[in-house]
Amino acid sequence: MDYKIAVIRGDGIGPEIVNEAVKVMETVGAKYGHSFGFVDVLMGGCATDAVGKSYPDGTAETCKACDAVLLGAVGGPKWGSDKPAEQRPETALLAIRKDLELFTNLRPATMRKGMEDASPLKRETAEKGFDIMMVRELTGGIYFGKRDRYQTEDRGEEATDLMTYSEMEIERIGRQAFELARLRSKKVTSVDKANVLATSRLWREVMHRLAKEYPDVTYEDMLVDNCAMQIVRDPGQFDVVVTENMFGDILSDEASQVTGSIGLLPSASLGAQAPGLYEPIHGSAPDIAGQDKANPMATILSVAMMFRYSFKLAAEADAIENAVDAVLGEGWHTADIAGDPEKLVGCRKMGELIRAHI
Ligand code: IPM
Ligand code: MG
């Protein structure tokens, strides 16, 4: 098959990690008989520098004409929160999610063999292993609600961010979670703050309704503060975790860290139709940009998710994931992962090692 991929290299380490991922796609293509056409899309701080805004006109249209989108990372101190919204890379990220209607964000956090020492978990907890599929709602909630900032009479300035969820939004993300659980260990943990928030109480009601439609899936509610604690206490208890946008943002960073490195975690953002968007969950790491130090694994594993979810190419996805596991199993690591100094490699070398295993 022929696939057209929109490639957003972005800022910081974005270009170098995407380079390795693109080469992995070509290696897989050569082996399994697929070809890929890559369309470069300018977005992020680099777009602000080039054309004055982080999300240039036509970005969504270009992406929509492709089968999938691969994104490196956007952001950096140069385009900080003191800059106008249209110049900030984060604005572009939220806009593309909204424009492509990518309401489902899958963030798997797995304890990979060989990473137990790098994990901050207690040895016995790490050795038990875990395989969490974090399902984050991505186009609703407080990140997309009305914001305001204004002067008050007697309390100085005031700011507000509104969190809103509709039954429709909750139900469609909930369904994704239950469907995924059916393909995995058949357990859904829905995370909310129903003891305080109205949005969470609606969330919980809708989830309970859905749970009745999936009697083969074990269902539980968990409060977000408790969930944050359980992820470090006993991550092995989780299978699919479904939650709203902001809780998912925070918990997925936490879950990624207990795997031993945030540099290993891929993500998929999916809507009702193509294209899906695939990106590592880490950021643009401007401090190490351009030094051949970044870990390309999360981006390469994002490509595996692209093959699995957008193209339904499971064997190709497995080949990539197995290659990453093999390289880690041999002790190779980038600087973000502790290990044998003799087996410390850079971004390019890591990409090469992974390709050699495919
Ligand atoms: C993420 C990031 C973004 C988010 C930021 C950069 C807007 O933290 O993808 O998790 O909050 O979604
Ligand atoms: Mg985040």
Q: Which residue lies with its CA nearest to atom 7 of ligand 1?
A: 90
Based on the domain organization, do 143 and 243 belong to the same domain? Answer: yes
Q: What is the pLDDT of residue 17?
A: 98
C-alpha 135/C-alpha 13 separation (Å) is: 26
Residue at 235 is within a domain: yes
- Considering only CA atoms, which residue is closest to atom 5 of ligand 1? 90
Residue 242, in any domain of the structure: yes
Residue 119 lies in a domain: no
Position 118 in a domain? no
Which domain-ending residue is among 200, 233, 257? Answer: 257
In a domain, 121, yes or no: no
Residues 57 and 170 in one domain: no
Nearest-atom index, ligand 1, CA of 143: 11
Phi first, then psi, for residue 11 (nearest 5°) are -115, 170
Active site residue 225: yes
pLDDT (0 to 100) of residue 206: 98
Question: What is residue 72's predicted lDDT score, i.e. its pLDDT?
Answer: 98
Give catalytic status of residue 161 as yes or no: no
b/e map 287-315, b = 16+ CB within 10 Å: ebbeeebbbbbbbbbbbbbbbbbbbebee
271 and 241 inside one domain: no
- Whether residues 64 and 162 fall in one domain: no
Q: Is residue 122 in some structural domain?
A: no
125 lies in a domain? Answer: no
Specify the pLDDT at position 338: 83
- Please check whether residue 239 is in contact with residue 133, taking contact to mean a CB–CB distance below 8 angstroms: yes
The phi and psi torsions of 168 (rounded to 5 degrees) equal -60, -45
Query: Is residue 67 domain-shared with residue 91, that is, in the same domain?
Result: yes
**Taking a C-beta distance cutoff of 8 angstroms, is the pair 241, 251 a contact?**
yes
Is the four-CA dihedral 242, 251, 202, 187 of positive or negative sign?
positive
Rounded to the nearest angstrom, the gap between the alpha carbon of residue 291 and the centroid of all alpha carbons in its chain is 24
Are both 64 and 139 inside the same structural domain? Answer: no
Spatial distance between the Cα atoms of 55 and 75, rounded to a whole number of angstroms: 12
On whether the CB atoms of residues 262 and 301 are closer than 8 A, the answer is no
Same domain? 184 vs 285: no
The pLDDT of residue 47: 98
Question: Of 205, 222, 257, at which residue does a domain stop?
Answer: 257
Is residue 287 annotated as part of the catalytic site, yes or no? no
Nearest ligand 1 atom, CA 249: 10
Q: What are the Cα distances from residue 215, in Å, to 41, 188, 209, 211, 219?
A: 44, 11, 11, 6, 9
pLDDT in the model for residue 318: 97
Which of 305, 185, 307 has its CA nearest to residue 241?
185
114 is a domain residue: no
DSSP-assigned letters across all residues of 234-293:
-GGG-SEEEE-HHHHHHHHHHHHHHTT-GGG-EEEEE-SSSPEEEEESS---GGGTTTT-
Give the residue, out of 90, 279, 282, with the most ligand 1 atoms within 8 A of its beta carbon, to mutate for a pocket test: 90
Residues 307 and 348 in one domain: yes
pLDDT score recorded for residue 319: 98
Question: Which ligand 1 atom minimizes the distance to the CA of 246?
Answer: 11
Are 202 and 165 spatial neighbours (Cβ–Cβ below 8 Å)? yes
Bridge-based pairing state of the strands 218-223 and 35-40: unpaired
> Do the beta carbons of residue 168 and residue 277 sit within 8 Å?
no
| Separation of alpha carbons 296 and 9, rounded Å | 13
Last residue of some domain: 222, 257, 292? 257
- Pocket of ligand 1 from Cβ distances under 6 Å: 90, 93-94, 249
Which residue's CA lies nearest to atom 8 of ligand 1?
A: 249
Amino acid residing at 267: S
CATH number at residue 172: 3.40.718.10
Q: Which of 253, 292, 325, 349 is catalytic?
A: 253
pLDDT score for 224: 98
* Tally of domains within the chain: 2
Domain that holds residue 358: 1-108+261-358
Is 253 in the same domain as 140?
yes
Asked if residues 332 and 343 have their Cβ atoms less than 8 Å apart, the reply is yes
For ligand 1, the distance from its centroid to the CA atom of residue 318, given in whole angstroms, is 27
- State the catalytic residue, choosing from 40, 225, 287, 318: 225
Residue whose CA is at the smallest distance from ligand 1 atom 12: 249
Task: Tell me how far apart the alpha carbons of residues 127 and 125 are, in angstroms, rounded to a whole number.
Answer: 5
pLDDT tens digit at each of 358 positions of the chain:
899 999 999 999 999 999 999 999 999 999 999 999 999 999 999 999 999 999 999 999 999 999 999 999 999 999 999 999 999 999 999 999 999 999 999 999 999 887 888 899 999 999 999 999 999 999 999 999 999 999 999 999 999 999 999 999 999 999 999 999 999 999 999 999 999 999 999 999 999 999 999 999 999 999 999 999 999 999 999 999 999 999 999 999 999 999 988 889 999 999 999 999 999 999 999 999 999 999 999 999 999 999 999 999 999 999 999 999 999 999 999 999 888 999 999 999 999 999 999 9
Examine the domain organization and report whether 160 and 88 are in the same domain.
no
One domain, residues 249 and 138? yes
275 preceded by a cis bond (ω within 30 of 0): yes
State the distance from the centre of ligand 1 to the C-alpha of 266, rounded, in angstroms.
Answer: 13
Are 100 and 135 in a shared domain? no
143 as an active site residue: the answer is yes
